[in-house]
Structure 1
């Protein structure tokens, strides 16, 4: 690139940019094309002083490599005309797909036809186009995984991409570990990958394909791969798109392979506070400590020293799926309709808090989940919005008169644009002047089962939250279009309940002796289960199975009467009733004014009605009414009751489990926040499969003939988990770096050693390793504050390695927490531990090593 003298740009390719001059315009010739450059002195990245001239020089220098990875792919651009700004005043970004009227005629372009519109994209196939894009403020270039074929039609994808996105509390090192696991799985499939640090937070993995599969097929394979990674490493990997589940894990975004999705092009800059780059890396680099994102200067130096690391993928693509493929190669697999086009066209991502993703994932019959949400929308007029997950998006209807509650009165339902799946969890205030301005809250959410889904009729049964607007009741609704094919007007009809027989109360068998009467104030301790596996369940003993709920164990004590006292006590006897006021009245109603002692679990549910232990953490330890009231909004809780220890002053602990279970179902009525989850008979494998399908921790197997042994751990209750979890005692912490510099980098944890007979005093603390992942930022701040109050001068461990102790800060070993991990190492350390949260219901003396064998420590 040289100023107006016919030069072909070779000097700029070597990293030299046009020098800024007093003139505000400079005409250069690049590859035979004349490009007018302006405002070369403009600072585009204030934090580093990087100017527009620097950016033009960078893109000229990396053009050969960038163009090879972006060539013949439709380019979506993100432009910062006035720079990225500062953290306090971010610059305005323009998201562009269609080419504007001022585009030079020589810019190569292709049109992609959708059902309702067409989009004309530029192709970044030469240095002149890349220079023009940088001139108009383009910092980021995004492209899909498919190219146009020789006839100009969208071809099948020629590469597979996985986006490893770290959740809160997880960093680049964890992404690198997941990348290595993914590489191993892909190698088994005959695909080798190369990593690209994204320039933002995570890592992208690229693998070459032969172009013989559709985008939908590749997406499905990528989705299965993400699920396999999650199954192998449940504590570290997440395959679901639910944002609330991401803290402490690496999300494997498989949807990058949709025909409608794009990924930032390798060697593209990022529009962040610093000029970071989506930089191809080597696998050796990912093994190195201190892995970081690279800025444009570092990338330039790397290219000067050697070859593009990602060239091996481009070479494989050229070998497997050459561009000369016939026009028909992708005729059935090209662009599908972008079902979120209308949604995005009505919203400015920079002004609304609503999720505005680039595109919807590729859908199809039978693809996707079955979640629903009903949102209460205080816009110009109050209405409700019903959204049903279908084919990768949320089919949506506005209900001006609300959700019908009477089968004899139908309500209007106005069909609106499809919404992204992220809207399942959206609540907030849409600013004035924006589409749909007003306050939106979630009225109910959950899953649905479908009876019929046609273009003009949809019949579904909604399964909402116990505390939602449907009050936990299953409601069947029919949505019926009332006009022609283009009509937006539907009606929504509440179906009458199907006839069914009510189950009668079950009485205790006649041969069982009546229990003895005891005082209603008897103090109990929870009976404990030991860890095990299905192999530990003797076939000659009858077993029942309950789901294992990820919460805090609580005993509930109720006095009789409408205003009788209610107390919730943790395992270590702490009264936490004030922290969970919403449970009190519902528990009284569930017992019908009778006195009782119950055993159960207090659980916080996420938007999918799955237990969320991290959400429950926000409720623990709160006693101030205002704090509790605020916390209830974000983390409502339920009490899942699974045992009846006493009823109207009559003890049941000596009765067999099967008898107590019948009595529990007879005397406790599910009411609002109080539920009696079902117990299952049959095979352990079936119960575990149900637990896995529901996204739960595992199951508790209980012998039908087992009595309730207060405070004891026996072989007659066995907990079987899908993932391994271990309670630990915190004995120290190590300082953190970067954004963790003011909190902590990792915890040093241990497990009390077993005491020999006759020994007294605290048990020695055996070192179990360091935990550095799984933390949310607010957890780190609160944890550091507590640890600072417990500082001591010497180590509480009896065997901590010198390397781990080098910069450690020791604390009194009084705090108990819980971690997920993959396995025990031969030296007794936790492998790949991830923090789950504090356990204020446990004391250090309660902590024992969890084992999976029958003869190990009893957990």
Structure 2
């Protein structure tokens, strides 16, 4: 991950954040950068988050990096959230004796990455969680911190740990050791939540005193430093409700990037035991289970906080592998174990999902769900055998659940199929993670939206009507959405329902990667009636959604991003025999994940555009060479391809302007209409993996050979494998000009594939000068364009501000002008987003929030760093303002 100096925008779990200063060294002794810290926390998230979930987090921050053993550097504890905290960070307000603090809840990967971005290297949490209303619960674990004094070491801590283990086992507790990443060892023992923090502290204190009494030369329970020389402090105080302990798998702010790591008792007996560092931990967790997770697997946490710490119930996990074949419990059936079917499908030792303990025979004990009056909902995006969405409503102590093969409907005129599945535990409402291969529902689960609902009607087994209130950053777009679930009475198993979006809803909803946006309420009264028609969403776009496949990654590994080229010229090619030359295609970059007939397309920002380009999805899915028929769970046939989506004119030449109407579409009918008018092609030029094996470290020529074998079964029609040329740059450039293409890509033949990085191993040589720009305002036109956009005011991000680079008033059709005017109206603001607009251009300007990116073609840069003779090429929805930069090779010639 290269540091551009201007930040890198990323989207994680639907949450957007900007990463900055990625090359900054946070651990000088090892040279560990912020990028490496962020990568660690992203990868370790599935292991760390279960131990942090719903626990108010205190952070230790080293904004300038850690120091040395003698000088630890500037560090400060942070409890309260400040105004710069992203709005989507889960939070909870905790009242202290004389004040209250807003704490973050580290419930998802995005929050963990945000903490790494602000150099919060250490995450500390209490031994208790909060419930759905944000109230502290009783502790669910006991912690003993074994801290060696001067003259004592890790071996002494191991001795004391074994003594403590004997006592805890006699109490019916089985502790798990954690090397703290500092000097000592932590012991964690799972509790049932029936004791208060004060009661647990008392027990821990007595344990410490007992060890000290029997082994006074080895252990001490008093905090005074004068008593600790040569001994191990048995610190019991962290069980206090007011205390915290570093979270398992958190980094430590020491001279080296050590980690608090759960260990096995066998490891503790090793004479080579030591504190582990982040690289070792990542490698370790590829091969090992989490010993602490195994100890906690039988304990269900029925709490959960939705985004912003609201009272939406959450916490939990999901698992249906398909759409049906799962019994549901009957609501209101007293004494009935409604989670029996759920438990029967899951092995708590193998799946990360919450699996509450089964009730004792003939009774309904504490572990069974009780009637509740909560009103939480969650919609989860589930990449299992087929991509679908899981729709869950809280009812009588469980989450009543339906699988939606095509997601929530976005059009009141079309209903979607909903298949009722087994009831889920309440803490499933906060689950995000990867269910392992071979387990029921294997695949990736992500929260699409969560919140509360207002119930209008619940006729058991017949009809449910509820208005959902989701999160601003959720898939429903923050607008209330009323849905009706109607049982069809069809099907032998009685599980078939229809889900209908009630007609009085504002706006439209994206069930793909897009964001829902309200457009005002329609006048119709939906009532409880279901619109006529089948379950809607027919056609190629819906079909492409159904064949979208499971990712070739897990939650612990970020989705790969494409390698990026550096703008250059013929002068940058020292020896043309070291390069291969490809044509530069004028379209949108896209990675294609292919798993048999399941295909997903992602832009360079990791946005899922599978539904927008169904012909590409269908073409890749239809090929037998794509691996169709491979055994379930097998890597055979899996591919990760790199290419460009293009729209071709009548002469077969790619035209970026032609591609514009295909961008940003969500609704199936709009996509089908655009497809019929403007079909697209997919130009494949690289391969990142094949049959589950990464190829990124292999040289360009070897990857091209592998790609040639693959494309023998894929190429033709929609998918193409363009040739490359070797040895003669001049011929390649002339061929590009003759074909009317944008330019040439020069790629070193001995280079690997630098995932997500911009590299000089790939150099783009363009015939025409183009520039991505951020739209900051517009000036009205004259004559027939009066009141509409006459020209757009353009800027480039620079040093935290937006530098004005000129305006563009050509290249638009009348129809485009109307659409642009409507689009910019919603972004209107009173003040200029630029820092240096000339008075003449600002005189009649309408300012807009700088969120949109476009592209222009121009003659040259002027001496005042303005664009000369720019012409509009179109929007770049695949880019964010943070990614826009001035092309260095052009500005140097100004």
TM-score normalised by L of structure 1: 0.37
TM-score normalised by L of structure 2: 0.36
Larger Rg: 1
